[in-house]
Homo-oligomer: A and B are copies of this chain.
Amino acid sequence: METLALPPQATQVGLAVDVAAFAMHGGELQVLLVQRGELPHARAWALPGGFVHPGEDLHEAALRELRTETSVTLEPRHLEQFYTFGAPGRDPRGRIVSVAHLAVLAHGAVDVTGGGHTLGAGWFPAHRPPALAFDHAAILTRALGRLRVRLEYAHLALEFLSDTFTLPELQRVHEAILDRPLDKRNFRKRLLAQGLLVASGERRSGVGRPAQLYRRAKGARAAAL
């Protein structure tokens, strides 16, 4: 593969990935953060991320960083890059370009501890995060914007839930991402009209009337891009 040399003007830069990983927890949209163990920004919270290995695809690198910097073991239900941050000076160590990714984790995958060279990991409210290292606040803001857009196009909300779920649960996912309340009747009408959901048995929640359980209809795949 190395049949030709890189031309002399080829700037060598550090290539990194950062991952904004979201999940629902306690009825709220949460983002996964790690506490840095090294300079720069030691002890500051940051998005999980790190350098891409030689020969490794960007997508693989994002998956690896998610697994090694946190104790998240489940595969993300959704992973896509959404923007590349490359301003000179965004990292004091030199020219580092980061391809930012958006990940969605299913409901179960919420217990995390740190891993690798981080001091810890945890979930934080996505719309009110703590102070973040580097330009990660800007990355998170943009990730939330992309998440909102994807909610309309693809059926990304389903990826936050287990295989079976209730409509009120699904509505809470939409509300958490859009950060505003939705009308119950209109929400149900719209979702059921799409024909992507099929009912199954019942379920009792702690209190109140039990909710109908739904499942994604087979043959319903997200419309990508």
Interface residues in chain A, defined as those with a beta carbon under 8 Å from any beta carbon in chain B: 1-7, 9-16, 39-40, 50-58, 81, 83-84, 86-89, 92-97, 99, 142, 145, 225
Contact = CB atoms under 8 A, between A and B. Distances in A.
Given A10-B51, A15-B15, A58-B86, 9 more contacts: A1-B94, A3-B40, A4-B94, A5-B93, A9-B53, A11-B52, A55-B95, A58-B87, A81-B84
Given A11-B15, A51-B11, A145-B225, A56 B4 contact: no
A174 to B, nearest CB: 20
A4 B54 contact: no
B84 A84 contact: yes
A141 to B, nearest CB: 10
Nearest to A17: B86
A4 B12 CA distance: 17
* A11, A51, A56: most-surrounded residue (chain B CB, <10 A): A11
B225 A93 contact: no
Contacts of A12: 12-15
